[in-house]
Amino acid sequence: MIAITIDCGAEAVGGQNDNFVNSVVDYLNANELSLSHILVTHYHYDHLGAVPALLKALKAEKVEGCIIAKKLYDHPWEKEVFDQIKGFTIKDLSDGDIIESDGIKISSVFTPGHCPDHMCYLLQPQGAEPYVLFSGD
């Protein structure tokens, strides 16, 4: 079975984020889950910064290699984060794009406001309601 994470948080100075990353890895392992997608609602460091640490902790082979996010502008630290995740697919989403995986459909909903690149994700389990909307900030 697969798992999807939304907004990984920030990589704290001195490895303080290890608890988060270790918790995610432990949960995936304990439940025999494979992380298939990392969704990012927007390019603030507190939502994107821990992506490299999570990929490193998963030793990359556990991730299908798809990091999905929306990007409309550059932040000064963005290059540093992306340099650390080379080799993984980065797909920019537009409003209404759909991700389907393991019986789950996720629609992207472009919601500029907090950030000009902000994206919400509408989770639609196959044949089930209610839907769940992940809004980020």
For residue 133, the model assigns a pLDDT of 92
- Strands of the sheet containing 34-39, edge to edge, are 2-6, 34-39, 66-69, 89-92
- CATH number reported for the structural domain that contains residue 64 in this entry: 3.60.15.10
Task: Report the mean per-residue pLDDT for the chain.
Answer: 78
Structural domains of the chain, count: 1
Q: What is the pLDDT of residues 92-101, one digit of tens each?
A: 788 998 888 7
Q: What is the pLDDT of residues 64-110, one digit of tens each?
A: 555 666 565 566 666 677 777 766 777 778 899 888 878 788 899 99
For residue 29, the model assigns a pLDDT of 92
For residue 119, what are the domain limits?
2-134
